[in-house]
Amino acid sequence: MSSSTKNVLLRTAGLLAALTFASAAPAEQAATAGQRVIHKDVVILGGGASGAHAAVRLREDFGKSIVLVEKQGRLGGHVSTYIDPESGRPIDFGVQSFIDIGGAKDFFARMNVSIGTPGRIVNKARYVDFKTGEELDYVPPAAADRTAGLTKFAAAASKYESMLLPGYWNFPAGKDIPEELLMPFGDFARKYGFEAAMPTIFSVTGLGVGDITKELTMYVLQAFGAPMARAMLGQVPTFVPASHRNQDLYDNIAALLGSDVLYSTTATRVERKPGCGVEVTVRDRAGRETLIKAKRILVSIEPVGNNMAPFDLDRQERAVFAKMDYSRIYAGIVTNAALPGATSFTNFPTDAAPSNYMAFPELPFTARFDNLGGDLFRVMILGDRDTMACAAKRNAQASLDRMLQAGTVAFPEGFAGRRKLTFKAFADHGPMHVRVTADQLRAGFVQEQYALQGHRDTWYTGGAWSVQFQTILWQYNDIVIPKLLQGM
């Protein structure tokens, strides 16, 4: 896709084609008739934030030949930009902004993307239990209490940054794991007295793990950590492209990488031969196959479910990946005549009213409808590992239907049009927030996971190995890439 392409892209980088993997590595692949063969130093699977950044660093800074395999027709992963056809206005309904960490602004400058201040739409806030459709008499925390809570949270969370960011390289094992990291986050909040910050932690980025009071503290810190708290407190800047179109960064990366990106392409077979490199067969949407022979493979997709089906996984790899649980996150832009303008509807359970700041919905749920101006609303749907895109859309529709039945929203008088949500855009952010149990962590899961770095010439980047924040993932790449290059 050229840098000038402005087409609306409805889905983010997601699952690779599902194929049954072999229990033992077969003989070396031979090119079939009409199959193109290319030779590279590194093949990268996934062109989201991690994969696209790594491709630039490997090729431009380390002089390695690369090929980047991306399922979608664009780069950028969780960046999702919709162009309003009437006004031409770009609307980012995935990633909202970037935290200025570790030279992030310098990377934007390097990609010739001017930066600006994130915009803000002021809406009337309404709180609704989407399970009943009833509006709640909910009173959010006062601004001063919220700020005090975020300050307390940032101080408590900062104690563990060296263990969690930008990855688990320094994470302790067994009895050395701080017990606070393994306690339910609700208990952590009560211990440090930041209950008034909990609705903010949940609604901004923490909602991806579901009811944050029940999830392990370490995983909520990965979903909303000290860097995000500092950004919310104004201690660390956030920014966006001056165009207010987040896709601009990745379009410019795409232009730089040129033909080294294979778009609309998925891996169908991955074979690793330690000491002899890797061979990856990929197929594009037209059915054309390419055999990629490389010295190393960098996996930037989440190593769960069907994503790993094309791989010739061994026992060590299967033992790690089988333990991983995860969420699925979907975002969209919708319209419906019953949704009033200049309004945001936030989903809280009934027992959150009037001021229980420790009550949150459980997966799966629709989180919110936020007006974006005019009749456009951003919707976010959170699911467990089994929540597919069709179920997510049904969940959003059911939430609206219940609000209609309860009289929380209503169609204009004489309305005779469409009662269903109209999706103008929809993005599948795929598996996210990979996590395991406290007992598995105590038993050495993180050490087993990181032992896979470099195993069978395979290296990993992305949220399962760090966090979901793009600029922190770039910091993670700065650690993993030199390790990948050793011995090449």
Position of tokens 């992030």? 104
456: Cα within 13 Å, side-chain hemisphere: 16
Q: Determine the 3-state secondary structure of 454 from DSSP.
A: coil
* Intrachain domains 36-79+243-322+435-485 and 143-236 with the same fold: no
Return d(Cα 53, Cα 51) in angstroms, integer. 6
148 contacts: CB under 8 Å, gap ≥ 6: 194, 196
From the number of C-beta atoms within 10 Å of its C-beta (0-12, 13-18, 19+), residue 267 rates as buried
Question: Whole-structure pTM over 0.85, yes or no?
Answer: yes
Q: Mind listing the pLDDT tens digit of every residue in the chain (488 residues)?
A: 433 333 323 333 332 333 233 333 333 455 666 789 999 999 999 999 999 999 999 999 999 999 999 999 999 999 999 999 999 999 999 999 999 998 999 999 999 999 999 998 999 999 999 999 999 999 999 999 999 999 999 999 999 999 999 999 999 999 999 999 999 999 999 999 999 999 999 999 999 999 999 999 999 999 999 999 999 999 999 999 999 999 999 999 999 999 999 999 999 999 998 889 999 999 999 999 999 999 999 999 999 989 999 999 999 999 999 999 999 999 999 999 999 999 999 999 999 999 999 999 999 999 999 999 999 999 999 999 999 999 999 999 999 999 999 999 999 988 877 789 999 999 999 899 999 999 999 999 999 999 999 999 999 999 999 999 999 999 999 999 999 999 99
Hey, what are 248's tokens?
């601009």
From 232, 254, 206, select the one nearest 367 (Cα to Cα).
206
| CATH code, residues 36-79+243-322+435-485 | 3.50.50.60
Q: Determine the 3-state secondary structure of 326 from DSSP.
A: strand
How is residue 473 annotated by DSSP? H
| CATH code, residues 143-236 | 1.10.405
Report CA torsion sign: 85, 378, 466, 25: negative
Whether 310 contacts 269, CB under 8 Å? yes
For the chain, the domains span 36-79+243-322+435-485, 143-236
